[in-house]
Amino acid sequence: MLSQYSNPYNGKDFFGFIFEFLKRVVDVFTGKLAVGNLVSDEIQIIVLMGIAASAALVGSFLILRKMTMLANSLSHTILLGIVAVYILTRDGMFNNVEPLSINAFLAASLVMGLVTAFLTEFLTKTARLQEDASTGIVFTSLFALGIILLTLFTKNAHIGTEVVMGNVDALHIDDCKLVLLILGINIFIFLLFFKEYAITTFDPGLSKALGISTVFYNYLLMTQVSATCVGAFRAVGVLMVLAFITGPVLMARMLTDSLKRMILYAVGIGCLCSFIGVAVSRHLLSMYGLTLSTAGIVVCTIVVFFITTLLFNSRNGLFINYYRRRNVIKV
């Protein structure tokens, strides 16, 4: 159990945290430290980095396909699937008996992802509503139903808050396994269907002529988004996961026009923000006694990085463009 080991990060400031982490990474690779001896801060880093990497992969194609609102919808509606699993089992994570099975979570997320995508497309094509209107109706209705059921069947308001907002401090080694499993699945799918995803994203007409179904890959992407959100909800909840999906990708989009580089940049930025967020959280706790939400700090870190990139990136930063127009910077 993790409680058997003292946390070496207690009392560390920001740079002390980084130094200790790098030292322990070296110890793991040299065999001096067993993986089973990971402490809470390291589990947080692994989980948040895994979430950031998965979110960057799916978010890259979501943003390029202009489907970000549907991702927002999915991040909310999977709550209904999670609550449904709890109602059917009545034990597990909500009662702290034993964790619900990974298969149950994934099945619930996949079902709700498909239901959300189907209802949105049905209202758009059959009821002839605008896509954003269909998305708004579907996700608010299903999310509200999930909140109601959560309130009815879990009388503990603290639990409800954790499901919606996440609780990084409650993570354990099994969460690493779930997040890394989902990341592995996402990597495998994108490696297997990268060309198909690229064609259906940039040239739907050509993909149709080649017999590549745009609808199939839309639903597959939605399924991946659902699974990614389920892997993230214990750590960051069903609300803040959207920042992981959109923030790093938008920054990467400002830095390059290459799809492959954009994905790599987004993964790197997301992982860096996750690491810095955990380090800042530990610094604030050690130096000032502030117990703030680590996930919230990570999201704030993403926002700070985004604003910095928006203002100062060398390609089209707002300040850079302003000075170029004023001929202060010669191109």
What residue ranges define each of the domains in the chain, with the CATH number in brackets? Answer: 38-325 (1.10.3470.10)
* Residue 1 binned pLDDT confidence (cut-offs 50, 70, 90): very low
DSSP class of residue 66 equals T
Contact (CB, 8 A) for 99 and 174: yes
Mean pLDDT of 148-162: 64
Mean pLDDT of 289-318: 89
- Comparing CA positions, the residue from 300, 285, 271 lying closest to residue 9 is 285
Q: Per the structure block, which two tokens stand in for 185? A: 């699945």
φ, ψ (nearest 5 deg) of residue 121: -65, -35
DSSP per residue, 88-150: HH--STTTTSSPPPHHHHHHHHHHHHHHHHHHHHHHHHTS---HHHHHHHHHHHHHHHHHHHH
CA distance 2 to 53: 25
Q: For the chain, what percent of residues have pLDDT higher than 90?
A: 38
Q: What is the pLDDT of residues 216-274, one digit of tens each?
A: 998 899 889 888 887 887 788 767 888 999 999 999 999 999 999 999 999 999 999 99
Mean pLDDT of 139-146: 85
CA distance 277 to 275: 5
Q: Would you say residue 331 has pLDDT above 90?
A: no
CA distance 283 to 9: 9
* Residue 301 binned pLDDT confidence (cut-offs 50, 70, 90): very high
- Comparing CA positions, the residue from 314, 310, 308, 309 lying closest to residue 324 is 314
φ, ψ (nearest 5 deg) of residue 155: -75, -5
Q: Which pLDDT belongs to residue 81?
A: 80
Q: Per the structure block, which two tokens stand in for 15? A: 């740079």
Of 50-64, 123-137, 272-286, minimum mean pLDDT range: 123-137
Distances (CA, A) of 237 to 38, 136, 270: 23, 20, 17
Q: What is the pLDDT of residues 175-206, one digit of tens each?
A: 888 899 999 999 999 999 999 999 999 998 88
Q: Which pLDDT belongs to residue 35?
A: 78
Mean pLDDT of 59-70: 87
Q: Would you say residue 160 has pLDDT above 70?
A: no
Mean pLDDT of 272-295: 92
CB atoms within 10 A of CB 327: 8
Total count of residues recorded for the chain: 331
Q: Which pLDDT belongs to residue 237?
A: 74
CA distance 61 to 138: 22
H-only helix segments in the chain: 14-29, 40-64, 68-89, 102-125, 131-153, 157-165, 173-202, 204-209, 214-255, 259-288, 294-312, 318-325
Q: What is the pLDDT of residues 92-110, one digit of tens each?
A: 444 443 445 556 766 777 7
Q: What average pLDDT is seen over the chain?
A: 83
Contact (CB, 8 A) for 253 and 62: no
* C-alpha radius of gyration, the chain, whole number: 21
